[in-house]
Amino acid sequence: MAFSITIRRSAPTTRPITVQLHTPFVPTSQDLDLKQGPDFQGAHYVYGQTLVPEVEGGPRPTVHMLWTPVPRALTLGGEERERRWEFLTAVAESEEEAKGSYGEGLALAAAGSLHSSHARAWAALWRGCSVDLDGPLPLRQALRGCLYYLLSAIPPRGSPGFLFHGISPGGLSNGTRGEDYWGHVFWDQDTWMFPNILLFYPEAARAILEYRIRTLDGALRNAQEQGYEGAKFPWESAATGREVCPEEIYGAQEIHVTGDVLMAFEQYYYTTQDEKLFREDGGWELVDAVARYWCSRMVWSEEEQCYHIRGVMPPDEHHCRVDNSAYTNAVAQRSLNFAADVARDLLVPVPEEWADCAKKLKVPFDAEKKYHPEYDGYSPGEPVKQADVVLLGFPLMHPMSPEVRRNDLEMYEPATAPGGPAMTWSMFAVGWLELKEVQRAQSQLNKCFSNITEPFKIWVENSDGSGAVNFLTGMGGFLQAVLFGYTGFRITKTSLRFDPALPDDIDRLKVTGVSYLGTKLTFTITREEMRIAAAESPRDPAASPLEAVLEASGQRLPLPGGQSVSFPTAAGWIQRSPTETP
């Protein structure tokens, strides 16, 4: 981290100019046992460990910090017209890494290229991904801000082996005690932020999945302690994968997070076909453990002749100990189907129990009213905290007719708390965009603007200003409303589908840097025409090139690297070109 202070003389005088400085920072912590080390190249140095391990007998993570001391005053000499002072901070898990980073920063500062190197790094990131539209300035600014803050939270590019520790709802921000969830990782990372990262930077998405793999042992212990098989990922995760939520009810009941984790693995697998993650790097062990957990968590109902999952808290946290949460059961079903697909790809025998549990698991549905009750016994109109059943349509893509999709949206839109978490309305927007109700979708998306603060587009969790700051979860939902809503992108087992729907005040949308099966794609969409350009060839030279397929006509348009195709705006998909037999 770096900041600078510049004093510039605006009047032609020769008097020294002194600016008094004050910094509230002191190198103490209520959570860390810190010791002072020797100064390093002008920097102060502290190091230490957490006072308490995350779980009894567990590791105590270490931290090393170097920082440029801030003087009480800075003075511009009488003969100087301008001067800049630069201040650096390096934080790492080892002394070697902290000193290496600090030394690198000093070298850049000495060469006068500290800021320019930062600007070049960001320029490279922006070249790799962008969302540009011809539309209202507030929307364009909000999108840019969301992408900026999300990119700020992912591992640096070109750093294989970087131990990433996940993304908390507040990212790198730090609020008052409890407000930013102590930096813990929730489903917010896997469901709300991950899909956007995956589209643009699959290597960063892989780092997020590697974090979950590294914490698998903790998830196995969580399940065991609750009397189940397999792995139960914690509602709040930190270094070990053990449950660290301070309130027991969430860790015990909000079990949908385990399915949310596996859905991120599914999206990554179908977008990249990275079998190595599953064959060699621990992915399969995680998939298998999640499938075993869900099977052990179900009970058979003789009365209904189907499996139930009882005593849970759905995403709607206004309700607890409910039976058969529609979202929880649907994501569990999806987990089991994906686990079976991966097993077949890896030539691993598929347990019959997985297929049986997936097929016979109850997902509540009211055949008379043609909608999905949130759980057994839900009464229409009962208040809901946040997006829940609407997530069945997206991102779960649970099979349903357009009529049922509409009924779910209309049932839960007025029942959802208007001042709830910021990500909620973006999912209603995606639903209405699916149904081509573009203005209704935009009215939902516009509700998100009450969570954006000026001038830096910082998001707050709740529209009254309370909760986590800077709320990356809300940004992730907002980005998905454009990246998966306006474009209609859907990640499936064999394709990347598209079905654009643009509101009246947006004339053109350009999404640059979408990564699919190793190829970078650019989508330019207007109401009349759609253009898809393949900017790079797949990394694997033996892989088949891509093609675009138009849904209505079945027309296939080859997409070789360095070329583009255009056609009247319509639904279709991108897929790997079938291998031709000589």
Q: 546-550 and 572-576 as β-strands: parallel, antiparallel, unpaired? A: antiparallel
What SS3 state is found at 463?
A: coil
pLDDT in tens, 162-210: 789 999 999 876 655 666 788 899 999 999 999 999 999 999 999 999 9
3-state secondary structure of 130: strand
What pLDDT does 405 receive? 98
pLDDT per residue over 299-318, tens digit each?
999 999 999 999 999 999 99
Q: Which long-range contacts (CB under 8 A, 24 or more apart) does 344-350 make?
A: 345/275, 345/278, 346/275, 346/278, 346/279, 346/284, 348/284
Which of 149-163, 283-297, 404-418, 545-559 has the least mean pLDDT?
Answer: 149-163
Mean pLDDT of 401-408: 98
Average of pLDDT values for 276-282? 98
Beta strands (DSSP E) in 258-325 are 299-301, 306-308
Calpha distance 164→184 (Å, rounded): 13
Contact 489, 116 (CB under 8 A): no
For 106, the enclosing helix (H) or strand (E) is helix 95-110
**In the prediction, which pLDDT does 581 show?**
41
- Closest among 510, 512, 557 to 536, alpha carbons compared: 512
What number is the average pLDDT over the span 108-124?
A: 94
Residues 41-57, mean pLDDT to the nearest whole number:
94
Angle 114-128/95-110 helices, nearest 10 degrees? 110
Question: Which whole number is the average pLDDT over 573-577?
Answer: 96
Segment (H or E) for 181: none
d(CA 546, CA 529): 20
Residue 269 C-alpha from the chain's centroid: 16
Position 56 scores a pLDDT of: 86
φ, ψ dihedrals at 564, nearest 5°: -140, 160
Q: Which element (helix H / strand E) includes 8?
A: strand 2-8
* % of the chain beyond a pLDDT of 90: 88
More reliable by pLDDT, 465 or 21: 21
Neighbouring-strand partners of residue 198: none
Which residues are bridge partners to 83 per DSSP? Answer: 7
Please say if the pLDDT value at position 549 is more than 50.
yes
Q: What was the pLDDT predicted at 582?
A: 40
Q: Which two tokens stand for residue 118?
A: 């930062």
Whether residue 542 has pLDDT greater than 60: no
565, 559 in Cβ contact below 8 A?
yes
pLDDT at 538 exceeding the cut of 60:
no
List pLDDT tens digits, range 221-236. 999 999 999 999 999 9
Omega of the bond prior to 337 within 30 degrees of 0, cis? no
Q: What pLDDT does 271 receive?
A: 98
Identify the band that residue 321 occupies on the pLDDT scale cut at 50, 70 and 90.
Answer: very high
CA distances from 273 to 133, 239, 292, 418, 517 (A): 30, 28, 23, 40, 7
Average pLDDT, the chain: 94
Catalytic residue among 229, 317, 353, 437: 317
Question: Picking from 153-162, 171-180, 329-338, 417-426, which range would have the lowest pLDDT averaged per residue?
Answer: 171-180
Q: Over 509-549, what HEC string results? A: EEEEEEEECCEEEEEEEECCEEEEEECCCCCCCCCCCEEEE
Structure tokens at 280: 């060699």
Which whole number is the average pLDDT over 250-258?
98
Buried b (16+ CB within 10 A) or exposed e, 416-426: beeebbbbbbb
**Catalytic (active site) residue 317:** yes
Look at strands 2-8 and 17-20 and give their pairing: unpaired
